[in-house]
Structures are given as C-alpha cells and as structure tokens.
Chain A
Amino acid sequence: DAGVIQSPRHEVTEMGQEVTLRCKPISGHNSLFWYRQTMMRGLELLIYFNNNVPIDDSGMPEDRFSAKMPNASFSTLKIQPSEPRDSAVYFCASSYDRGRSTEAFFGQGTRLTVV
C-alpha cells in the first residue's frame, strides 16, 4: 500500500484566498484524522471521521475551516478565507478501528504558507 497520500506537499497562497488540502487514506481504514502542527502548539487534532461521518470537530479553529469526506477514499480540508496565522503543516492520518486501540498512520503533510 502507498500509505496515506496528501496533496499538495507545499502550498503558498495570499491572505484571503481559498485553500483546499486533499487526503487519500490507506485502503480499508475506516477512521481519518486531520491534524495541524506548529512550533508553538505542536500537533493539534482538527477533526476526525469514522466511516466517512464527522465524529469530533471540536478542534476546528473557526468557521473558516471545513472538512468533508464524501467517500472512504477521499477527504478534503478547506480554509476560506485563509489568514497568515493558518500557516502550518497539515497532516492527514488514518487507522482501522476494530473496536480496540490501534495506531494511526500519517501522510507526509502539506506545508501551508499564507502570506
């Protein structure tokens, strides 16, 4: 398996523009997570899905952020409008929930810079 695939790897955009980050989880995994990582705050969970349904979005910073998972093999995280403080590395991770704890596998991340 190719692992969790994220695109783009790098994104530079101007303040106010819409940004869409994409994720393809590992085939067969039924949980998907979006994390944001900064030097100041470390890894923060933004939202997670189980069987394509959003379970917990309490980490989404504000209404400018939205996430969708239209099917088991694709998810997007959208920021509209983007702001410089959104600059961070955004990771997508997936796992297989068998009713007991299991490790999450991370994609390579998207480094977002908002200028």
Chain B
Amino acid sequence: EDKVVQSPLSLVVHEGDTVTLNCSYEVTNFRSLLWYKQEKKAPTFLFMLTSSGIEKKSGRLSSILDKKELFSILNITATQTGDSAVYLCAANFGNEKLTFGTGTRLTIIP
C-alpha cells in the first residue's frame, strides 16, 4: 500500500530559528512529491519535486527530494510567526491521485 509519513508530528520553535520538516514515502510508480501549507483553511501549494538533488526555493523556504532514499525535506530559515501552519507532504503515484501524510504542525513563538 502506498504510504506517506511525515515527521515530526508537531514542532514548536522561536522566531528566527531554522526548521527542517521530513517526509518519507513508500511507493510504486512514484511520479512526484508535493508540499502544501495549511493555515486555517485550504491547503496552499508550495513546491512540486520530481527529480533528485534539485533544490526548489521560494524566499525562506526550500525543498529537496532524494528518490534513492525515498524522502524529502522542507527547510524554513529565519522563521516568522506567519510560518505557523500545518505542512502537508503528498506523493503522486503514477496517476492524478495524491496521497497525503498526516502533516507537521509548526508553531512559531514570537
């Protein structure tokens, strides 16, 4: 069965800290891995990764995929209170269906 596992389940850090969120997957026919940020409402898209070793960046956020070891990380540097959210990892397994992990709840303390 295809599975996506995220860690840690929750994380509390101080503003300005750097955090690393983890996502591992077990899969057949892997196609891509996606990161979403969910605040109070709908998940919003952050990154899509299809190739190993190529870092995607957007401001203070970056992400990379390792297809050999079947994991991805999401880094956030110089965290701000607005980064507080649930971060969801999802994998696309060869069709349009996305399988989501349970998410990492990130809390930034001012």
Instruction: Name A residues whose Cβ lies closer than 8 Å to a Cβ of B.
Output: 4, 31, 33, 35, 41-45, 48, 50, 55-56, 91, 95, 97, 100-109
Lowest 5 A-B CB distances belong to which pairs? A101-B32, A106-B42, A42-B102, A43-B100, A103-B45
* A–B complex contacts, Cβ < 8 Å, 18 sampled: A31-B96, A33-B98, A42-B102, A43-B90, A45-B98, A45-B99, A48-B97, A50-B96, A55-B96, A56-B95, A91-B43, A97-B96, A101-B92, A102-B48, A104-B34, A104-B45, A106-B43, A108-B42
**Total cross-chain contacts (CB, 8 A):** 56
Instruction: Name B residues whose Cβ lies closer than 8 Å to a Cβ of A.
Output: 31-32, 34, 41-45, 48, 50, 88, 90, 92, 95-103
A35 to B101 CA separation, bound complex (whole angstroms): 13
Residues of B within 8 A of A101 (CB): 31-32, 48, 50, 92
What does DSSP make chain A's interface, helix, strand, loop or mixed?
A: strand
Residue of B nearest to A105 (CB): B45
Residue of B nearest to A56 (CB): B97
Contact assessment for B102 and A107 in the assembled complex, using a CB-CB cutoff below 8 Å: no
A97 to B2 CA separation, bound complex (whole angstroms): 21
A109 to B102 CA separation, bound complex (whole angstroms): 17
A53 to B102 CA separation, bound complex (whole angstroms): 28
- In the complex, besides A43-B88, A56-B97, A101-B32, 12 extra interface pairs with C-beta distance below 8 angstroms are A35-B100, A43-B100, A43-B103, A45-B99, A45-B100, A50-B96, A56-B95, A100-B31, A101-B31, A104-B34, A104-B98, A106-B42
